[in-house]
Amino acid sequence: MLNSTLNRGHSVMPKPLTAISSTQAKSIKWLFTDVDDTLTWEGSLPLESMIALNKLSAAGVRVVPVTGACAGWCDQIAKLWPVHGVIGENGAFWMQKNSDGFSTQATIALDTMKLQQEKLIEQLNILLLEYPDIGFANDQPFRYCDVAINLSQDREPISDNICRDLIAKITKLTVDGHPVNATESSIHLNVWVGSHSKRLTTEAYLLHDALVNKIDAPINLNEIAYIGDSLNDESMFAWLPMTFGVRNIEPILSRFKAKPAYITNKNGGYGFAELAEVIVEAKKSLAA
């Protein structure tokens, strides 16, 4: 059972990571994390990020990337990285590799999801005729559900005004009577049909884990943390009490109604590694 009461987020500016107490850090059992510009930085995955993931795993922290990245990228993460699982395409599905093999759990049947995606692409192709310089992300063929419009990946960034204009037009669309959703990441505008989100699928992931492991006790939200960098992370900041932003979130903090509680001193994956070190050292002090 999960206490799903909305935390309503943190409206005040984040505190520095150094303000977190050792007691809070050592209580973290789950760390959900964004990927692009949170685990990565400037288009690369730093060695520090992978070392941090291994250290967290060794310390007993269950790390789950929660990303807008495509199914193909999530397949690789789930199979090769030291993570508990991965939630992909902003909550459309999750993937796990364990002793029973590899599995994918989706919010709706994959065939239905793919059909809705095809219809959505048809509408977006028409809309993007108004924006001849804007196209889909290169990884679009490897996506199960959403449609990723390229904002800044290997291209000159699209202005905030144009991005907001696109979002306003996209969210007026419907597919088979269902509303179309859009959220902005650090590199893409992710568009999809369905009610899923990073927050809702994270909750479903935790409930599924409790069911599989026959855990009857309520899950304590104070043992669950999240770290991210972009607007598509706001639902997580609004839900969990213990949330973190990497330093590169600072330029857009004014656009968040719900802000992270803490902020790292470093950008992207280097900031993630900074947080991991705080958690691991706190766990060591607990074991001493």
In a domain, 1, yes or no: no
Inform me whether the pLDDT recorded for 3 exceeds 80.
no
Last residue of a domain, one of 193, 219, 235: 193
**pLDDT on residue 4:** 45
Check whether residue 80 and residue 140 sit in a common domain: no
Check whether residue 117 and residue 189 sit in a common domain: yes
Check whether residue 65 and residue 170 sit in a common domain: no
Check whether residue 101 and residue 131 sit in a common domain: no
**Token pair of 123 as six digits:** 């509408």
77, 94, 149: which is closest to 120 by C-alpha?
149
Q: What percent of the chain has pLDDT over 70?
A: 95
Check whether residue 136 and residue 180 sit in a common domain: yes
| Angle of the 268-287 helix axis to the 47-58 helix axis, nearest 10 | 20
Check whether residue 98 and residue 118 sit in a common domain: no
In a domain, 2, yes or no: no
Write down the mean pLDDT value for the chain. 93
Check whether residue 170 and residue 254 sit in a common domain: no
Check whether residue 172 and residue 41 sit in a common domain: no
Check whether residue 28 and residue 103 sit in a common domain: yes
In a domain, 9, yes or no: no
267, 282, 261, 277: which is closest to 16 by C-alpha?
261
Q: Are strands 188-193 and 178-184 parallel, antiparallel or unpaired?
A: antiparallel
Last residue of a domain, one of 159, 193, 227: 193
In a domain, 43, yes or no: yes
Inform me whether the pLDDT recorded for 10 exceeds 70.
no
Rounded to whole angstroms, the Cα distance separating 201 from 70 reads 16
CATH of the domain at 95: 3.40.50.1000
Render pLDDT for 270-288 as a digit per residue (tens, 0 to 9).
999 999 999 999 999 866 5
Render pLDDT for 12-41 as a digit per residue (tens, 0 to 9).
899 999 999 999 999 999 999 999 999 999
Q: Which strands make up the sheet holding 62-65, listed edge to edge?
A: 15-16, 262-263, 242-245, 224-228, 30-33, 62-65
In a domain, 5, yes or no: no
Going by C-beta distance under 8 Å and a sequence separation of 6 or more, which residues neighbour residue 239? Answer: 6, 7, 9, 199, 221
Check whether residue 161 and residue 125 sit in a common domain: yes
In a domain, 97, yes or no: yes
Give just the sign of the alpha carbon dihedral 46, 49, 52, 57: negative
In a domain, 144, yes or no: yes
Could you please report the per-residue DSSP string of 42-90?
TTB--HHHHHHHHHHHHTT-EEEEB-S--HHHHHHHHHHSS-S-EEETT
- pTM equals 0.92
Render pLDDT for 55-84 as a digit per residue (tens, 0 to 9).
999 999 999 999 999 999 999 999 999 999
More confident residue, 161 or 8: 161
Rounded to whole angstroms, the Cα distance separating 288 from 9 reads 34
Q: How confident is the model at residue 99 (pLDDT cuts 50, 70, 90)?
A: confident
Range of the domain at 171: 110-193
Render pLDDT for 231-272 as a digit per residue (tens, 0 to 9).
999 999 999 999 999 999 999 999 999 999 999 999 999 999
Check whether residue 63 and residue 81 sit in a common domain: yes
**Number of domains making up the chain:** 2
Last residue of a domain, one of 169, 193, 217: 193
Give just the sign of the alpha carbon dihedral 279, 264, 21, 259: negative
CATH of the domain at 179: 3.90.1070
In a domain, 7, yes or no: no
Check whether residue 98 and residue 114 sit in a common domain: no
**pLDDT on residue 285:** 83
